[in-house]
């Protein structure tokens, strides 16, 4: 069953107070087997497990593993009983993102502002505490069944949240990871992006950064439309996609069918050395979309002088794009679960604040080759 939701922001008061955000606090995935997901992110993506809750810590119905790298914090949670909202979510959507949690300085104020402007609550403000202090949390709904927890952990010293047990930490040198520093952006696929662009603007005080129309991103078979919203200091960037009319099924439509509705499409993770990071990911078995060699012949001409060696880009499959402010390097993984839903982008910025618009066509052609292999084109 596909659930279609649209936010109701009609009648919301005009922006009068700023809605401060401290960035993305964590991303929580609801998955079929959290233990194995944690193993994948530890060994393939170089994350360090930091906290756990489950039967051993007195939680009877689920298990959660918290992993970190740089400022990135991922949580993988599975139900361990059959009749459970997480089990139902997993049955419908497969492995996917449940919560993109946002740090806020004042949860109650943020909740009050958001709900007064038309956000619907996922859960009401509450406190959680243990010997390490107290956190305050509330949740609001966004596209599909995805939520934003609003969290203030300034009064908390523990590993993640009350109820979680800290895991033994490796020596500092062994916690180095593979160079992933923070979440650059989180992209949502929706049936209709404009109500959600409006939601982020009117409810969370974001502003629209840029948009791409289907004339920019059209291939022979499919197209998308995308708009990007970001918060005041640009730390939180959410591109939002919708399908555009193509000759065949677009990759956004394929996602919406496979995920049974709107949800997170990809998470972009920033590195300062993309060649090293992608070499490590390749070595650890992460699979990327393949870049046709001919892409680089055109790219050298299109992009001009860069600090990196073109031979390294060709070897790793990293894409490059330039705009007025500089350039960026990026590469996209294949979906990381059996459904063609969530994937990752690895990105390095050399002055550009864009999203690789010039690469969209090359990317889409690569994605469509994959789609054709699945018989969905």
Using CA atoms, how far apart are residues 320 and 335, in angstroms rounded to an integer? Answer: 21
Q: How far is the CB of 184 from Fe ion (least distance, A)?
A: 8
Burial class (CB in 10 A: 0-12, 13-18, 19+), 339: middle
Pseudo-torsion of CA 50, 54, 55, 59, nearest 10°? 130
Instruction: Give whichever of 147 and 363 is closer to Fe ion, judged by the CB atom.
Output: 363
Instruction: Give whichever of 28 and 345 is closer to Fe ion, judged by the CB atom.
Output: 345
Give, for 238, the enclosing helix (H) or strand (E).
strand 237-244
Instruction: Give whichever of 217 and 268 is closer to Fe ion, judged by the CB atom.
Output: 268
Sign of CA dihedral 371, 316, 76, 360: negative
Using CA atoms, how far apart are residues 43 and 284, in angstroms rounded to an integer? Answer: 7
Q: How far is the CB of 191 from Fe ion (least distance, A)?
A: 20
Instruction: Give whichever of 25 and 345 is closer to Fe ion, judged by the CB atom.
Output: 345
The packing angle between helices 251-259 and 360-373, to 10°, is: 50
Q: How far is the CB of 114 from Fe ion (least distance, A)?
A: 25
Using CA atoms, how far apart are residues 60 and 54, in angstroms rounded to an integer? Answer: 6
Pseudo-torsion of CA 139, 142, 147, 150, nearest 10°? -40
Contact 97, 342 (CB under 8 A): yes
Instruction: Give whichever of 119 and 278 is closer to Fe ion, judged by the CB atom.
Output: 278
Query: Radius of gyration over alpha carbons of the chain, in Å?
Result: 20
Q: Phi first, then psi: what are they for 290, rounded to 5°? A: -85, 140
Q: How far is the CB of 345 from Fe ion (least distance, A)?
A: 4
Q: Token pair for residue 213?
A: 């129309």
Q: How far is the CB of 336 from Fe ion (least distance, A)?
A: 15
Instruction: Give whichever of 99 and 345 is closer to Fe ion, judged by the CB atom.
Output: 345
Q: How far is the CB of 363 from Fe ion (least distance, A)?
A: 9
Using CA atoms, how far apart are residues 193 and 335, in angstroms rounded to an integer? Answer: 22
Q: Phi first, then psi: what are they for 302, rounded to 5°? A: -70, -40
Contact 54, 163 (CB under 8 A): no
Using CA atoms, how far apart are residues 67 and 39, in angstroms rounded to an integer? Answer: 10
Q: How far is the CB of 185 from Fe ion (least distance, A)?
A: 6
Q: How far is the CB of 268 from Fe ion (least distance, A)?
A: 4
Using CA atoms, how far apart are residues 291 and 96, in angstroms rounded to an integer? Answer: 26
Q: How far is the CB of 365 from Fe ion (least distance, A)?
A: 16
Instruction: Give whichever of 64 and 341 is closer to Fe ion, judged by the CB atom.
Output: 341
Q: What is the binding site for Fe ion (CB under 5 A)?
A: 268, 345
């Amino acid at each position: 069953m596909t659930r279609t939701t649209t936010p109701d922001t009609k009648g919301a008061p005009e922006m009068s107070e700023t809605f401060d955000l401290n960035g993305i606090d964590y991303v929580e995935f609801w998955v079929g087997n959290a233990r194995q997901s944690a193993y994948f992110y530890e060994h393939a993506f170089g994350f360090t497990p930091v906290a756990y809750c489950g039967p051993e810590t007195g939680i009877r119905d689920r298990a959660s593993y918290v992993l970190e790298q740089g400022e990135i914090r991922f949580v993988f949670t599975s139900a361990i009983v059959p009749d459970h909202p997480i089990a139902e979510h997993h049955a419908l959507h497969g492995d996917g993102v449940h919560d993109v949690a946002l740090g806020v300085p004042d949860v109650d104020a943020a909740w009050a502002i958001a709900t007064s402007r038309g956000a619907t609550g996922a859960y009401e403000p509450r406190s959680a505490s243990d010997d390490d202090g107290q956190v305050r949390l509330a949740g609001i709904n966004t596209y599909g069944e995805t939520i934003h927890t609003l969290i203030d952990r300034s009064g908390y010293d523990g590993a993640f949240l009350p109820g979680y047990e800290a895991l033994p930490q490796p020596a500092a040198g062994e916690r180095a990871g593979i160079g992933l520093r923070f979440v650059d952006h989180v992209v949502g696929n929706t049936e209709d992006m404009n109500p959600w662009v409006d939601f982020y603007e009117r409810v969370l005080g974001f502003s629209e950064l840029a948009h791409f129309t289907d004339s920019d991103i059209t291939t022979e078979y499919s197209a998308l439309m995308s708009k990007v919203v970001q918060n005041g200091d640009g730390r939180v960037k959410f591109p939002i996609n919708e399908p555009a009319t193509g000759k065949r099924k677009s990759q956004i439509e394929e996602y919406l069918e496979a995920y049974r509705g709107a949800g997170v499409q990809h998470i972009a993770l920033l590195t300062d050395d993309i060649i090293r990071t992608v070499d490590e990911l390749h070595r650890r078995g992460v699979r990327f979309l393949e870049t046709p060699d001919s892409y680089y012949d055109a790219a050298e001409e299109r992009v001009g002088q860069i600090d990196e060696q073109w031979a390294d880009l060709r070897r790793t499959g990293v894409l490059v794009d330039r705009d007025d402010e500089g350039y960026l390097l990026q590469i996209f993984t294949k979906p990381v679960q059996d459904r063609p839903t969530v994937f990752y982008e690895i990105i390095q910025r050399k002055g550009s604040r864009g999203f690789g618009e010039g690469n969209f066509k090359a990317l889409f052609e690569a994605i469509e080759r994959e789609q054709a292999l699945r018989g969905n084109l």
